Amino acid sequence: MGDDAPRTGDQAIKQAISRINRPVYLVNMNGQIAVSDTGSVFIGDKEPPSDCLSYPLYAYIQPLLPQFMGDPAFKAAHGLKYAYVAGAMANGITSVKMVEEMGKAGMIGFFGSAGLLPQDVEAAIDSLSSRMGGLAFGFNLIHSPNDPELENTIAALYLKRGVNRVCASAYLDLTLPLTYFRVKGIYRDNEGKIIIPNKIIGKISRREVARKFLSPPPEKFLTQLLSQKMITEQEAELARLVPMADAISAEADSGGHTDNRPAIALLPTIIALRDEFAAKYRYDRPICVGLGGGIATPESAAAAFAMGAAYILTGSINQACVEAGTSEAVRTMLAEAQQADVTMAPAADMFEMGVKVQVLRRGTMFPQRAAKLYEFYSRHDRYEDIPEKHRAMIERDILKRSFEQEWEQTKKFFTQRDPRQVVRAEKDAKHKMALVFRSYLGQSSRWATRGEPSRKMDYQIWCGPALGAFNEWAKGSFLEKPENRDVVTLAMNLLFGSCVVTRANWLRCQLAAHGIALPSDAGKFLPTKLSDIKRIEEENNDDNSC
């Protein structure tokens, strides 16, 4: 040890663990456990200098900074300081401002382009291209089985405008537009290395979907792209040697589209599958596996990294931040949510398929009303077959107008967006009913983001139980109020806190070998202002001890 004697007491130990840029030595000092953050360890027969205080060592941990967490390969691939991703929340909830703040902080955000028209997506591209310089950012590409032309248009727009990072979400199977985005522009450099200009992070929650992203692009799509002269023979040849995705996010119990998978089971399964496919195809670069869904506290972030997550991805907690593209009313509702205040409801984009999304149920009737609409759709072939009393309820409480009036508005929308849907609906009464019901589902999320007061009971707010966990952790602190929540402060609290939790666990394991228990709250990390986190992170780490 140095010249100063180690300190005793639980508080001294907790303080030492929280100083993440300093080492921690736990020693036996006259039969008591004591702590120091300076010193040297002497192993075996080597004796310490006679002019230094020395004590038997129980445990030692090294400094652990937020930038050390996660996979260096993932950070290098995207030019990041931190292994932290702000996931894409549809309708621009993951906004231009949020993506910009992530990039400036050495993290990455993906703009929530799902649900937006191509011209709105292009406006976001213009804005981020002018703001970001060389900083990393990306856009969402969502599977659109009910509107494949929109997916194709967005993928083509990304290629045209040089958007070379996408988060591919809600895919049940790979598609031609996604494959085209991945394959276009692949080449070998002068050293023979395959260069893939367009990066894909696939968001998955099922093994069968993960397998598709871990495999090379489907041969049927390569053949089709070749026949249409959309790619060259060389691009097709090189595409057969690379996976569809550079990374995949194992999506556990998240807001929005989710299979409600438990993170502790999902992540190890997907990592093992990644290793299997890496050995099978002998890729020349690693495929990173991150974890999203349920990441909301220092403990959950630490658990993700401990299980081998290359990065962590957050969503629900960001929606309550000031940068989120949503209303003050929604931010307030989210800041009051508890873990049990979420439920599943029919999804607007995959309504007919019975696909559901996870939403907030506290303070809104949307989940119940959406479920009723799907129930009526499933049971009847046309709207007129629904019993009159139920039709009256639908028009009075849900649509707030007659079915035919709602159809006229829906018809106008699809005449611009996808006229084929109108043609089909005029011939198919069940499809007409689906489009009208989908119109309510689609508008409900926009009423929420706009803060439409007359429609508050119809707000559709995508949210997972993670937000409730965050609110419980933040209660009583400056982060309890949504106006104090910004994405970088939240991100750094999770990353910094995960370092504290991890260091405590390292010590706990070593002390157990001596039959000693670390104080139960030794790794507890409370919400901390960003300025204080940066100060601690940047403190001089010089060690002048013996």
Task: Looking at the structure, tell me whether residues 201 and 259 fall in a common domain.
Answer: yes
Q: Which of 439, 458, 477 represents a domain boundary (last residue)?
A: 458
470 in any annotated domain: no
pLDDT tens, position by position, 66-80: 999 999 999 999 999
Q: Are residues 445 and 508 in the same domain?
A: no
Is 492 domain-assigned? no
Per residue in 80-105, pLDDT (tens digit) is 999 999 999 999 999 999 999 999 99
pLDDT number for residue 54:
87
Structural domain boundaries enclosing 59? 7-63+499-538
Binning pLDDT at 50, 70 and 90, where does residue 1 land?
Answer: low
236, part of any domain = yes
pLDDT score for 400 = 96
Over residues 383-426, the pLDDT tens digits come to: 999 999 999 999 999 999 999 999 999 999 999 888 999 999 99
What φ, ψ does residue 383 adopt, rounded to 5°?
-60, -35
For 454-480, how does the pLDDT look when each residue is reduced to its tens digit (9 = 90+)?
Answer: 999 999 999 999 999 999 999 999 999
**Number of domains the chain is built from:** 3
**Average pLDDT over all residues of the chain:** 94
Q: Is residue 489 part of a domain?
A: no
Q: Which strand (E) or helix (H) includes residue 144?
A: none
Quick check: 59 pLDDT over 50? yes
User: Are 514 and 431 part of one and the same domain?
Assistant: no
Model confidence at 542, pLDDT cuts 50, 70, 90, reads very low
Rounded mean pLDDT of 29-56? 85
- pLDDT confidence bin for 44, thresholds 50/70/90: confident
Query: Same domain for 348 and 321?
Result: no
Instruction: Identify the pLDDT of residue 544.
Output: 41
Answer whether residue 464 is part of any domain.
no
190 with 53, same domain: the answer is: no
Cα 166 to Cα 71, 101, 469, distances in angstroms: 19, 18, 28
Is 415 found in the same domain as 367?
Answer: yes
Grade residue 432 by pLDDT with cuts at 50, 70 and 90: very high
**pLDDT for residue 484 is more than 80:** yes
Domain boundary pick from 270, 299, 326: 326
Are residue 322 and residue 194 in the same domain, yes or no?
A: yes
467 Cβ neighbours under 8 A, 6+ residues apart: 255, 296, 316, 317, 319, 320, 334, 337, 342
Instruction: Print burial letters for 478-497: b (CB count within 10 Å at least 16), e (below 16).
Output: ebeebebbbbbbbbbbbbbb
Residues 247 and 279 in one domain: yes
Torsion angle of C-alpha atoms 254, 256, 261, 266, degrees rounded to 10 = -70
334 lies in some domain: no
Q: Which of 458, 481, 511 is the last residue of a domain?
A: 458
Please report the pLDDT score of residue 156 as a whole number.
97
Residue 253 included in any domain: yes
pLDDT at 349: 86
DSSP string of 523-540, one letter each residue: T------HHHHHHHHHS-
**pLDDT range class, residue 300, cuts 50, 70, 90:** very high
One domain, residues 284 and 387 = no
Q: Are residues 142 and 22 in the same domain?
A: no
CATH number, domain with residue 306:
3.20.20.70
Write out pLDDT tens, residues 160-207.
Answer: 999 999 999 999 999 999 999 999 999 999 999 999 999 999 999 999
pLDDT of 2 reads 52
pLDDT band, very low/low/confident/very high, at 42 (cuts 50, 70, 90):
confident
pLDDT score of 18 = 94
Distance CA 78, CA 525 (A): 29
Same domain, 58 and 91: no
Question: 226 and 112, same structural domain?
Answer: yes
In this prediction, residue 9 carries a pLDDT of: 92
468 domain residue, yes or no: no
Whether the predicted pLDDT of 310 surpasses 60: yes
Look at residue 52 and tell me whether its pLDDT is greater than 90: no
- pLDDT at res. 147: 84
Q: Give residue 3's pLDDT.
A: 53
Q: What is the pTM assigned to this prediction?
A: 0.93
Question: What's the mean pLDDT in 20-39?
Answer: 93
Summarize the confidence of residues 226-255 as an average pLDDT: 97
> How many Cβ atoms from other residues are within 10 Å of residue 192's Cβ?
7
> What digits encode the pLDDT tens for the residues 506-537?
999 999 999 999 998 999 999 999 999 998 87
More confident residue, 146 or 322: 322
Q: Determine the Cα–Cα distance for residues 448 and 206; give it in Å rounded to an integer.
A: 30
Q: Is the pLDDT of residue 543 over 60?
A: no
pLDDT score, position 451:
97
